[in-house]
Chains A and B, each alone.
Chain A
Amino acid sequence: MSKAFEVALGIVTSIGGFLEVGSLSTAAQAGAGFGFQLTWAILLGTVCLAFLVEMSGRLAAISKHTIADAIRERFGINFFATVLVTVGLVTLLVLAAEIGGVAVALQLTTGIAFQWWALPVGFAVWLLLWKATFGLIENGVSLLGLVTVGFLVGAVKLHPPLAEVGAGLLPTLPTHDVSRYWFIAVSILGASLTPYLFYFYSSGALEEKWQESDLGVNRLVAILGMSFGGVLSAAVLIVSAMVFQPRGIQIDRYEQAALLLTEPFGYWGFVLFVASLAIASFGAALEVSLALAYLVAQGFGWNWGKGVRPKEAARFSLTYSVVVLLASLLVLVGIDPLKLTLLAMALTSAILPVAVVPFLVLMNDAHYVGEHRNGWIGNGVVLVVIALACVLAVVSIPLEIFGS
């Protein structure tokens, strides 16, 4: 494969895979509630994610170890257990949110309540994991995910006031609903920085046998792919700010969010929204399930991988089967998918230090990355953003749950 093609494919799959139920619903809520004011949270989250994804690829390409592998090996089982439990539980909630996203899309098309779709969707996720190769999952679903570019087209068609959008890139204090503002900011950061993304990325790099010579491609894909992905998130926020905020509509249910694209596109806007929600959430569900199985298998040193048949990595296959089932059951009992999504994203922010700090230590350890250690800019940006996200989360989650 030529380098140019690799870069192009990497960027396209990053864009197609960027928007999932978390970034979609948090951006939509931000726009509806606060206009363009929260665009800064998307910018901050995206920049930090680009750094983390680049680091993750670099760790795998140089050390031939994934983040989970290296955390167990470098910090021992007790610390790894902490990561496994916190990141594992929050990621399980994220998986339930993704399955819920597909189920809601099906509810919007068929009128049959989302709970009924929980098990069929879970089964479809499992079946694809069982049968498909890593390349098909990574590239195929991401290519379909390009349907989410519809949000960008929608945003352009609505002619947003660019000066106001630009002003939103700088953080400002809210003038109303203070605790809601910070809670949504935290959820946006959590949605951008879900650990499954960069944990998954290092496993993917190993599945695809990256070498030191892939570092350039890795950097380009991380920067360009994540930037374009962030633009899509911002597009959702812009559309929501243009369509919902002037009418004073707060998004409390997915049925409301489904009307996002009807202003620029009419009936087809509804179809486009439902398709985007279904495809993006389904793709993310596949990756999140794999990420959870990778985390467990690598932590205990089992054989793992989507390059082998299920029976050749029996414990690994069993793990993703179980997590898909558990997440589907969470949706089946009827927890409101939108509330579940927002909570999962906010909790993600709260646990970021546990997921990211050990990873940063590894990226500064010559045993693992040799001369390709982090510079101070990468360390600085990531530390500042996760500290901010965590502090905001610890303050705003209780306020959101108990305050109002």
Chain B
Amino acid sequence: MEIVREVLDKQVLDRKGRKVGKVDGIVLELRDGRAPRLAWAELGSVTLARRFHPRLAAWAVRWAAWWGVTSGRPLRVPWSKLRRSGLDMAIDVDLEDTPAFAVEEWLRRKLIGRIPGA
């Protein structure tokens, strides 16, 4: 599998086919004397920010700490749990258990859900 072309930035769907986010990063595990091993796919704003600039990632961490809705830690999906589903990637997780959901839920409760007609 060509990791970058076939996995990085692809749409991730949960167990029920709902959108979780895109694959924002890939983590390799370096091992002494052996080839590196693919460890995780990561989804999260800090991971995404790091691909632009480390400073942007530091800001994202601070923002997450201040905001307090997510831990700032990305969703880590073990490589073995990642499945292809057409052009997308499917993971065996419920959307409700992801940081992406925490943000969506916070907005729903605090803002969008309070506007009449939502």
A-side residues, CB < 8 A to B, are: 63-65, 69, 72-74, 76-78, 80-81, 130-131, 300-304, 309-311, 314-315, 317-318, 367-368
Contact = CB atoms under 8 A, between A and B. Distances in A.
A297 B11 CA distance: 12
Residue from A310, A311, A317 whose CB has the most chain B CB atoms within 10 Å:
A311
Interface string B41-67: 000000010011000000000000000
A130 B117 contact: yes
Given A72-B22, A73-B87, A303-B19, A314 B104 contact: yes
B117 A314 contact: no
Given A73-B22, A301-B20, A303-B18, A314 B112 contact: yes
B74 to A, nearest CB: 13
22 contacts: A63-B87, A65-B87, A72-B22, A76-B4, A76-B8, A77-B22, A77-B48, A78-B51, A78-B52, A130-B118, A131-B117, A301-B19, A302-B21, A303-B19, A303-B104, A304-B19, A310-B115, A311-B108, A311-B118, A314-B108, A318-B111, A367-B87
Contact of B112 (A80, A301, A302, A317): A317
B82 to A, nearest CB: 15
Contacts, number: 73
A314 B107 contact: yes
A77 B9 contact: yes
Nearest to B111: A318
Contact of A318 (B4, B10, B12, B112): B112
Contact of B9 (A63, A73, A309): A73
B21 A73 contact: no
A77 B47 CA distance: 11
Nearest to B10: A73
A205 to B, nearest CB: 16
Nearest to A76: B9
A371 to B, nearest CB: 16
Interface residues of B, number: 29
B21 A318 contact: no
A322 to B, nearest CB: 11
Contacts of A64: 86-87
A368 B11 contact: no
A28 to B, nearest CB: 38
Given A69-B11, A301-B19, 6 more contacts: A73-B10, A77-B24, A130-B115, A130-B118, A131-B117, A314-B104
A64 B105 CA distance: 26
A315 B104 contact: yes
A131 B22 CA distance: 29
